[in-house]
Each structure stands twice: as structure tokens, then as C-alpha cells.
């Protein structure tokens, strides 16, 4: 059964304090591993897609990496505007798009 688990559930950082979010996944025939950002009361906003182990993507202070069992979202020198819930999702050969529970990040100035 396809499954996605994210940790930690919540993370509090000081501005400039780098950290990483974890996404563990089990999926039959990976067709894509996706990271999204969600602000309260809004739909998720796409950040990255990763397709194969060893792949990395970067955008401003965010960097996503992928292994055969996990993906990490690294946040370097975060700012208060990076505060949001970060969601990980996997898509496999069943056609399902399965999301983890999310990590709620709070960055304090």
C-alpha cells in the first residue's frame, strides 16, 4: 500500500537557523515525489518534483533531495515568510496521489 510519512509534525526555528524536513515514502513504481507549500486557508502551492534517487532541486532557500526511501526538504537561513505547512506527496503506478500529514514550520524573527 502506498504511504507517505512526514516528520517532524511541527518545527520552530529562529530566523537564519537552517534545518531539514523529512518525508519517508513507500510507493509501487514511483512516478514522482512532490513538495508543496500551503498557507492557512489556501490550496497547496507547488515547489518541486523529484523522479529518481540522487536527484536534487533548488529554489531560493529551499533544496529538495531524493533517495529510494526518503526525501528531504532543506531550508537554509530561513526567513519569517517561509513560515507555512510543507506537504510531501508521492505518485505511483496506481494513479493515486498520496500526501503526508505535513510539517508546520514557524520561523521567528
Partner 1 sequence: DGGITQSPKYLFRKEGQNVTLSCEQNLNHDAMYWYRQDPGQGLRLIYYSQIVNDFQKGDIAEGYSVSREKKESFPLTVTSAQKNPTAFYLCASKGYWDRDTNTEAFFGQGTRLTVV
Q: Applying CB under 8 A, which residues contact partner 1?
A: 6, 29, 31-32, 34, 41-46, 49, 51, 87, 89, 91, 95-102, 104
Please state the closest distance from residue 33 (CB atom) to partner 1, in A. 10
- Quick one: 41 or 109, whose CB is closer to partner 1? 41
d(CA 101, CA 51): 21
Residue 74 C-beta: closest distance to partner 1, Å: 19
Q: At 12, give phi and psi (nearest 5°).
A: -115, 125
Q: Least Å distance between CB 44 and partner 1?
A: 5
Nearer to partner 1 among residue 50 and residue 107 (C-beta): 50
Q: Which is nearest to 88 in space by CA: 12, 36, 46?
A: 36
Could you give phi then psi for residue 52, rounded to 5 degrees? -145, 155
CA distance 86 to 100: 9
Nearest to partner 1 of 43, 109 (CB atom): 43
CA distances from 45 to 18, 37, 48 (A): 22, 5, 10
Which residue number, 13 or 88, has a Cβ lying nearer to partner 1?
Answer: 88
What is the nearest approach in angstroms of partner 1 to the Cβ of residue 6?
A: 8
Amino acid at each position: 500500500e502506498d504511504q507517505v510519512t512526514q516528520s517532524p509534525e511541527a518545527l520552530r526555528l529562529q530566523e537564519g537557523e537552517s534545518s531539514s524536513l523529512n518525508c519517508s515514502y513507500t510507493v509501487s513504481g514511483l512516478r514522482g515525489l512532490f513538495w508543496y507549500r500551503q498557507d492557512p486557508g489556501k490550496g497547496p502551492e507547488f515547489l518541486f518534483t523529484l523522479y529518481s534517487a540522487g536527484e536534487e532541486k533548488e529554489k531560493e532557500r529551499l533544496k529538495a533531495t531524493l533517495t529510494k526511501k526518503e526525501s528531504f526538504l532543506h531550508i537554509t537561513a530561513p526567513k519569517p515568510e517561509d513560515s507555512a505547512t510543507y506537504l510531501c506527496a508521492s505518485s505511483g503506478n496506481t494513479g493515486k496521489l498520496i500526501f503526508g500529514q505535513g510539517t508546520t514550520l514557524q520561523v521567528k524573527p
